Structures are given as C-alpha cells and as structure tokens.
Amino acid sequence: MPGFYGAYCAGSANWLPDDAVLPATSDVDVWVVYTSPKPPEKLGKFIYRDVMLEVSYQPSDQLQSTDRVLGDYHMAGCFRTPSIILDPSGQLTEFQTTVSRDYAKRQWVCKRCEDAMNRIRQNLQKVSESELFHDQVACWLFAAGVTTHVLLVAGLENPTVRRRYVAARELLADYSRLDFYEDLLEMLGCARMGRMDVEHHLAALTDVFDVAKEVIKTPYRFAADISDISRPIAIDGSWELIERGYHREAIFWIVATYSRCQHVLHHDASVEMQERFSHGYRQLLGDLGITAFADLQQRSGQVDRFLPRVWEVAEAIMAANSEIEN
C-alpha cells in the first residue's frame, strides 16, 4: 500500500493475558501507520475471521518522538507491551522497546495523568449552548468520565472506555479508597440509581439503537458504533454489566450511545421519529438531574471543582504503587 509504514494493536486487547479469550462484547483496535500526513479516513469496525476489528489510520509523524507518546495516556498504553503487527523498517519495534522501558517511570506516569486532566478541561470547554443538546451532553459526559482515567493511569491500569467505572472501582478497592468511588458516580449523577431504572433506560435505548442503525446515512465519526456488528458492544455489553451487578457503571456507556443515536436521528430521521425517540433520552437525562443547558453548565462546574480531589487521589495511588519507578 502506498505510504504504508506499519501497524500495531491498540486498546484493551493489549492488556489481556496472552491466553485470554476475547470477550464477545469487545473488539480489537488496530492502528495502521502511514508516512502521509493525511492518511485515509478511519475504516471503522468490521468482522474478520469471527473477530470484530476496528481499524484506524495514523500519520507516522505522531510516532517520531517517544516523549510525545510516553506523555499521551492513550498512546503510551499501546506500546507498554509488544503490540507490533507489521513493521517493515523495524523502527516501530525499536520505538516500542524504548516506550516500554520508560513506561512506569514516575515522570511519565505524572505526565499521562496531567494529559488526562487536560482532556477533562478540554471537554468542559466544549460544553456550549451553540451546540445541539445531545452534543452538549456528550462533552459533559466524557469530561466526567475521564476522571476515572486519571486514576487508572496513576495505577498503571488500562484506561478502558466502556468499562471505565468498573475498572476504577476495582482500582480504588485495591488502594482502600472505595469511599471516593461514590463521589465519581455522583459526578455522573447515577450514584443512587436503581437497577430497574437502568434496565428501563437500556431497553429504551435498544429500541432507539435498532432504528438509528437502519436510518443512518450522513457521514458520522461514530457511524461504525451504530451498526449491527457493533450491537454486542453498544447494547449487549451494557446488559452484561447490569447482570453482573454493575447497573450504575453501565450508565456511562448507555448515555454515550443514546447521545450518538440522537445525533443520527437528528440528521437522518423524520421529525416524527425524532420526537418519538427523544422522550426516553430526556427521561434518562432527567434521572441524572439534567433537563436543560443550565443543568449541564452547573454539572460541568461541579466536575471542574472536583478535579483537585481527583488529582489528590491520583497522587496517593502513584505514591503507593510499587511498580512506579523513580
């Protein structure tokens, strides 16, 4: 392929033991690196030999500096263990060796925690009244949700996407800080939500999802996530969390998927269909204490004021983590 530089695995698959079975509710992220500064558009999700792959493209200049990758909390995790699929020049393998060697050094762990904190602030700044309501919600949601990533990065754990709250709970339990976990859920607004309420919202989302995946036509960066092949992740994965007793933890991905479905309906569905499926979305947000932009402003302010406490706990985790090197 013209401009092909290499390819590597990313995401949660890199954090699984070598003999683990990939869950049916997970995919395998693959990054294909190009020498061109403008690689092709993201290929997205598809099935290959019974495995769901999500293939994205990346310019090679993003991988020229090990310092840049070591300080990026998403990219660094891709190279902490051998993850190279194809490397004609051998340069990616050398790069991975260096990143892996320095991954657990305290200066880089701190840098990655700061990177996660900065992404929270960036998302908060995007909560704008000029945007559509579901897009406003998504910005607030990911600002609140990345608080878990700050802690997971401090603990040298996987900053996973859909299961982030479950992973954060397990981490805080290991460090005897489960008291702080309830505060994380308070930021999301689901700390006191019951299982039956969450099941009701997921059932409503399932109906919306099945409509959105049929009507979608307008190009959308998350189009692959609203499709038949993504249903095991978007829908079944949330049911699985509920069945395991993590109904509150399922809320994050339910809101994220619901917001993306609303985006699709806004662009590609009739007004009648939009109105039909907006009620359940508003009901879900109402249970989280959000009915209008003013609520999102208030909740964004709460997240911003919460950040010093997140950093305090992250520092405590780093100080107690014996795997972090000085």
Q: What is the CATH number of the domain that holds 32?
A: 3.30.460.10
* Domain housing 88: 4-103
Residue 100 has pLDDT above 90, yes or no: yes
3-state SS, one letter per residue, for 249-290:
HHHHHHHHHHHHHHHHHHHHCCHHHHHHHHHHHHHHHHHCCC
Least confident of 36-50, 131-145, 204-218, 256-270: 36-50
The 3-state DSSP class for residue 86 equals: strand
Mean pLDDT of 222-229: 92
Cα-flanking dihedrals φ and ψ of residue 34, to 5°? -120, 150
Least confident of 14-23, 145-154, 193-202: 14-23
Q: Is residue 162 part of a domain?
A: yes
Residue 155 sits in the same domain as residue 82: no
Cα pseudo-dihedral 306, 308, 310, 315, rounded to 10 = -170
Q: Is residue 266 part of a domain?
A: yes
Q: Is residue 318 part of a domain?
A: no
Distances (CA, A) of 240 to 35, 39, 186, 321: 40, 36, 22, 31
Domain boundary among 88, 103, 118: 103
Residue 28 has pLDDT above 90, yes or no: yes
Reported as a pLDDT band with limits 50, 70 and 90, residue 240 is very high
What is the amino acid identity at position 76? Answer: A
The pLDDT tens digits of the residues spanning 170-189 come to 999 999 999 999 999 999 99
Residue 124 sits in the same domain as residue 46: no
Residue 306 has pLDDT above 90, yes or no: yes
Residue given tokens 């960066």 in the structure block: 221
Cα-flanking dihedrals φ and ψ of residue 105, to 5°? -70, 140
Q: How many structural domains are present in the chain? A: 2
Mean pLDDT of 281-291: 98
- Taking the model in full, what pTM does it have? 0.95
Q: So what's the pLDDT on residue 184?
A: 98
Residue 116 sits in the same domain as residue 241: yes
Domain boundary among 56, 71, 103: 103
Tell me the two tokens of residue 112: 């990655």
Q: So what's the pLDDT on residue 2?
A: 86
Residue 116 sits in the same domain as residue 61: no
